[in-house]
Amino acid sequence: MVDLLTRPTRAVSAQRTDRRLAPLTAGLVAGVSAAAVGLIVVVAVVMLAWGTDSNSSASAQTALRVGGGFWLLAHHGIGQLTGQRFGLIPLGLFALPAGLLVHAGRAVARTDVVTNRRTAWQAIVVTVAAYAACVAGVSVGVGAAPVHVALPMAVGSGAGLAMVAVTAGVARERGLRELTGRSMPAPAAAAIRAGVAAAALIVAAGAVLVSVALALHAHRATALADGFAPGVLGGPLLALLGVVYVPNAAVFGAAYAVGPGFSVGAGTGVSVFGVHLGVVPAFPLLAALPSTEHAPASTWIFLAAPVLAGLLAAASVRRRYDGGRWHSTAVAGAAGVVAGASLAALAALAGGPAGPGHLATIGPSAWQVGVDTAVEVGLVAAAGVLLASWPRAVGVARAARAAAVRLLHLPSR
């Protein structure tokens, strides 16, 4: 009789243990899988470049370390590369682990083990911890010449990226209420949507600016590429290296459109107000830089990008939020702050040191880009909402006055 009673109890206890461990197991698998896929892709490309370079004297072990180093570079985890300070992250490469981590978050959220807020956060924390452990392991493995890894920075930045991306993936799949227990307030949601849309428009304008400039200087870009003598397979790999830096160039172009511009070395600057260049690295993508001391007059049209972004933000606020004239105007101004913060974050990620001395400063100033964007987009968006709602406010006032006249039998004037 005792045996018959204890067996179901043990079975129930085992089931409870399995349910408690299920979110942890799902998070562990998701974190390790995201790290493994990203690492394999990057290392495979580096090994292909090493195998096709007949002039390379590096060993396979060195090539593997370089591949791991480039994967860590996507997490801002490299202190030095070939003995030189390096922190210029290719945003195209950064998008690889970010996208994989968002996918990992969504995959975990789709499983039946995430049933409530507690299990969701358990899965997120374990996924982040597993990913950070993988980053730490790779950092230890490649932390020798020619790659020097700053272990605390690599693990911290990897964990930070994983936390943001995995949480975003879970929230995208399950909704914000599943994680926080409450929905985002309508004014905040409207401001964030409008601000992100405005920032995206400015970055798109920057990408168009870079594309046009590169097309106009295609002969110079070709000459710079030929200078590397890349060979049959080296050419596509050199092109791939340029592609992963295209998002950086788009952010540089956005900084140009907003006003502050960017630098390509210490003491240099490229903006609509002037071009001051020194010795520029022979990288094909840099062929898009102006060749004179004055910004081409044709690029001034891109200064309209923040204005258009502000109008887009105003339209978005009016479509998504109806809180009265002054509340909507305030939300539109807040959208400018969101746009400024978004571009400031992108500017901080897009720039960095690419070597010692002259190359220690490359990219836009994050705070200048953020402040200028917030002011320009915020003012235009607020003015757009205010002006668009003015006829409606006047009509309401007239209708109210007419109603008062009818009710009080006052003579109309």
Per-residue confidence (pLDDT) for residue 55, from 0 to 100? 63
| CA geometry: angle 57, 59, 64, nearest 5 deg | 125
CA distance 185 to 323: 12
Per-residue confidence (pLDDT) for residue 413, from 0 to 100? 46
> Tokens 């994050």, residue?
366
The whole-number mean pLDDT for each consecutive block of 10 residues of the chain, a chain of 413 residues, reads 50 50 84 95 86 68 84 77 72 94 93 83 93 93 72 89 94 79 84 96 96 87 73 68 91 95 85 82 82 78 94 92 84 96 95 76 92 96 86 54 57 48
Take residue 270 and report the two structure tokens written for it. Answer: 């490229």
Take residue 18 and report the two structure tokens written for it. Answer: 């399995």
The region, left, alpha or beta by phi > 0 then psi within -120 to 50, assigned to residue 116 is beta
Question: What is the Cβ-side half-sphere exposure of residue 217, based on CA atoms within 13 angstroms?
Answer: 20
Residues 6+ apart with CB under 8 A from 330: 187, 382
Per-residue confidence (pLDDT) for residue 220, from 0 to 100? 84
Take residue 109 and report the two structure tokens written for it. Answer: 């959220």
- Minimal CA–CA distance to 22: which of 86, 148, 115, 93? 115
Contact 42, 71 (CB under 8 A): yes
Could you tell me the pTM of the whole model? 0.84
Question: What is the Cβ-side half-sphere exposure of residue 363, based on CA atoms within 13 angstroms?
Answer: 28
| CA geometry: angle 197, 128, 34, nearest 5 deg | 80
Residues 6+ apart with CB under 8 A from 110: 173
Sign of the torsion angle spanned by Cα atoms 365, 203, 342, 373: positive
Torsion of CA 280, 282, 288, 289, to 10 degrees: 10
Per-residue confidence (pLDDT) for residue 359, from 0 to 100? 76
Per-residue confidence (pLDDT) for residue 145, from 0 to 100? 60
CA distance 35 to 100: 8
